[in-house]
Structure 1
Amino acid sequence: MANLATADSGTQIQRLEAAIDHLLSEAKRCGASAAEAGVSASTGLEVAVRMGEIETVEHTRDHGLGITVYFGKRKGSASTSDLSSAAISDAVAQACSIAKYTQEDPCAGLAPAELMATEIPSLDLEHPWGISVEDAVRLATDCEDAARAHDARIVNSEGASLSTHAGLKVYGNSHGFVGGYPSTRHGLSVAVVGKVGDDMQRDYWWTSARAPEDLESAESVGRRAAERTVERLGARRLGTRRAPVLFRAEQAAGLLRHLCGAINGSSLYRKMSFLLDQLGEPIFPDFVQLSEDPLRLRGLASAPFDGDGVATAPKDLLRDGVLQTYLLDHYSACRLGMTTTANAGGVRNMSVGMSERDRPAMLRELGTGLFVTDLMGQGVNNVTGDYSRGATGFWVENGEIQYPVEEITIAGNLKDMFKGLVAIGNDCDFIGSTTTGSWLLEEMTIAGE
């Protein structure tokens, strides 16, 4: 396969569309009543350095396809990384063989034909970076050097890495829909270790974007990693208490991911969500607005159609704190007696309505409490909403950071946490598929000494 960073993506898409046509034709020839298929191809470069030395240089090249066939309400799937004609025929035959032995499922099948994307808008997702290995190593080294030189308390490094990837995705089904688009993604990150006396702390920073010019500079990434690390030196433990909690923006984005998991169709039809039957109900205070924009230009999660071929479009998830929609693909929508929301493959580019409060203003609003900057563990129960995770951060008094804290656990219930949201800041300082500022929660349990 040609290098996707330099090859004409239009030509590559045509090649993958031809593979889709072959798959669908084979499925029809084998007697399938309906079929769908996806083909992807990607190339990339990843380099990693540590303490000024090259650790790894990796060129990647991947491609694969998946086929799903339907014989009435029976379904079979198969996949292969071989795009030859013979391999495609074998994959279709395997999928058909599986389908003939599976149990009927009344919701098995394609999304309605009238919901298929009729246009594939350009979302400005393709920005190849023809960077050489030498220049990639130099940038990663510059990033690590900036972190190590920023403060004498930075004594070690876990290394810096740079990655660049270019890919193509094509999906088609027996409705006659075939669509594809190219995309790129680039990233730079570094993690370092600081030390004062016997106390050692580690932290990191990163940047990710569709276009290389949208990345933070190597020096900025390194400096921020060092700043975050030395801020944690001298961390103390807290005694157990209840107090207000401020989640830094990156951690607040994680709370939104828990929300998405709870309103995801597969969780709902399995009755494994703490937000069952909450559509149209207030689950946040009335100042909270949350939207999804899958058509955002250069968005890290943008897509013109979802994994079922259904056209995507911007929509409100929360309006005035009220849940406006679930996140449904065609199958889960059928199980719930609803219509797909074009979320096969997940939610794409969420944005929270932010206030005018910057970080200092949010700390003043916090007053006395915990400012959480990092979370550990997986203590979240999607069925009950119970939330318990290890945390590090800072203890704040009278709106001013007093000292870093570690080895604590914060606990609550997500339903109560969502309704107890007091304020959202405008201090989003990273590029991601979720845009939010910090979140101030009324109160949580803090378990410590």
Structure 2
Amino acid sequence: MQALVEQILAEAKQLGASAAEAAVSLESGLSVNVRLGEVETVEHNHDKGLGVTVYFDRRKGSASTTDFGQEAIRDTVAAACRIARYTAEDPYAGLADAALMAGEVIDLDLNHPWDIAPERAIELALESEAVARDYDARITNSEGASVSSHQAFRVYGNSHGFVGGYGGTRHGVSCCVIGQQGDNMQRDYWYSSARDACSLEAPDIVGRKAAERTVKRLGARRMKTRQAPVIFAAEQAGGLVSGFLGAIRGSAQYRNSSYLLNSIGEQVFPGFVRIDERPLLPCGLYSAPFDREGVATRDRDLVSDGVVQGYILDSYAARRLDMQTTANAGGTRNVFISHGDKDLQALCREMDTGLLITDMMGHGTNMVTGDYSRGAAGYWIEGGEIQYPVEELTVAGNLKQMFKDIIAIGNDVDLRGNVRSGSILIDTMTIAGE
């Protein structure tokens, strides 16, 4: 793969490109799905691809192919060069600065192949679903269970002389079931994901959690519209914080399309909140030694003492803003939210009366104004204890005020996503119901 990247770059130089970058990827995997005790699908995938971007001064062209044959490679590079000759000059286009390239590709322990046969994967998926279906007589149907294993390798290089690559794996177990009580039907799910299959939750645990969550939601009620405190459960809290990350992305800043324009140095969260990125976390699900432009990644604070410390930038956005890239070409990697010492139950007691959100629907976030409105379901809390499940609600507010109104963040951190947060308690939001 490294030799292939070097060949592409040499071809681009021969055709007159002043600079070029190329990436080659190989992926393979297995995924099995079962439903109601029967195998629904067994899928093997083997994918490959290469892409090249060339620059003729400040004119840019890109092309890609899945054919690794010599003629196809030459045609792909030639196509990128033809495109570049017809594009307008962009003063901000170009490779990331040579001085920022990763001098050493750090081994972050990301590659843990799982030599699992399809037959064994099917057994594990059937086990997960069986535990869920047997959990309670009110579990009446299933959307199925799955087991997956994927491995990928990627090599990137550019005309600065940088060529580097790394591999990674991702494995998973998931289960989703349906419950019924009278005329009320509910569905819920659970899943586990990890680089190393040894770190996955056992299939029976995944199935039991899916069933527990489903049964707890049976008998859900609707509520009257009101204002009240709200807890975003850990599995939903990461999505809430993503509304902040999107607002400090370089593209949103230079396009003037963010509710947090020019926010470096601004107090956005309470003083106890820290948000930091850890791309070099060993075995991390989103770790990487360099970004998609070859820039060495590093740990850094996005928010410290509630104050915005910097934006999320690739080299293009950085030039537009007269800043330096933060090695975020391709996005953020392992974002952690600081938390206190209270678990979810303690947060409920602190809230006393309010809404615990465990499921959300729709995409109602306006990144220009910060207005937030999404469908929700969860539980009504009184006296610090769950009283009954609720559904068909809409929670609304403005993200700038919501972030300022954070009272506490729980220690029940959800480690499965890119944004890792505990449950978040917000002082007041509008809850629209009947």
Q: Which of residues 3, 24, 47 is equivalent to 2:32?
A: 47
Match of 2:258 in 1: 273
Contact in 2 for aligned 1:299/1:433 (Cα 8 Å): no
Structure 1 residue 166 corresponds to structure 2 residue 151: yes
Of residues 51, 57, 71 in structure 2, which corresponds to 1:72?
A: 57
Equivalences for residues 304-319 of structure 1 within 5 A: 304-319=289-304
Q: Distance in 2 between matches of 1:260 and 1:143?
A: 35
| Aligned-pair CA distance for 1:430 | 4.6
TM-score normalised to structure 1 length: 0.96
| Residue 259 (structure 1) aligned with residue 266 (structure 2) | no
Number of residue pairs matched? Answer: 434
- Match of 2:417, SS state, is coil
Instruction: Provide the identity percentage.
Output: 60
Q: CA deviation at 1:325?
A: 0.9
Aligned to 2:273: 288
CA distance in 1 between partners of 2:370 and 2:405 (Å): 14
Corresponding position of 1:122: 107
Which residue is 1:5 aligned to? none
* Corresponding residue number in structure 1 for 2:222: 237
What code does the residue aligned with 2:359 have? D
Deviations 1:164-193 (A, max 9, x none): 001101100000000000100001101000
Corresponding residue to 1:92 among 73, 77, 100:
77
Q: Deviations over 1:417-438 (max 9, x none)?
A: 1111110000125533322110
Kept after mapping to 2: 8 A contact 1:49/1:55:
yes
In 2, Cα distance between equivalents of 1:386 and 1:299: 32
Q: Does 1:105 align with 2:87?
A: no
Gaps of 5+ in 1: 1-15
Query: Which of 417, 420, 429 lines up with 1:435 in the alignment?
Result: 420
Work out the CA distance in 1 between the residues paired with 2:84 and 2:413: 48
**Unmatched 5+ stretches in structure 2:** none
2: distance between equivalents of 1:86 and 1:250?
48
Contact 1:247 1:439 (C-alpha < 8 Å) held by counterparts: yes
> What is the alpha-carbon distance in structure 2 between the residues aligned to residue 283 and residue 88 of structure 1?
49
Contact 2:242–2:419 (Cα < 8 Å) also in 1: no
Matched, 1:250 2:217: no
Q: Using the alignment, how far apart are the partners of 1:433 and 1:242 within structure 2?
A: 31
Deviation, structure 1 residue 363: 0.3
Whole-Å separation in 1 of the counterparts to 2:58 and 2:407: 48
- Structure 1 counterpart of 2:45: 60
Q: TM-score, normalised by structure 2?
A: 0.99
Amino acid at match of 2:54: V
Out of 315, 324, 338, which is 2:309 matched to?
Answer: 324
Which residue is equivalent to 1:426?
411
Amino acid of the residue matched to residue 115 of structure 1? L
RMSD after superposition: 0.7
User: CA separation in 2, counterparts of 1:272 and 1:140?
Assistant: 44
* Counterpart-to-counterpart distance in 2, 1:360 and 1:378: 28
Contact 1:422 1:441 in 2 (8 A): yes
2:180 corresponds to which residue? 195
- How many Å separate the matches in 1 of 2:253 and 2:68? 37
Q: Which residue of 2 aligns with 1:23?
A: 8
CA contact (8 A) 1:207 1:430 kept: no
Deviation string, structure 1 residues 26-79 (Cα, Å, up to 9, x no partner):
100000000001111000001000001000000000000110000000000000
SS in 2 for 1:100: helix
Superposed counterparts of 1:397-416, under 5 Å: 397-416=382-401
Matched to 1:50, the amino acid is R
Q: Secondary structure at the match of 2:322?
A: coil
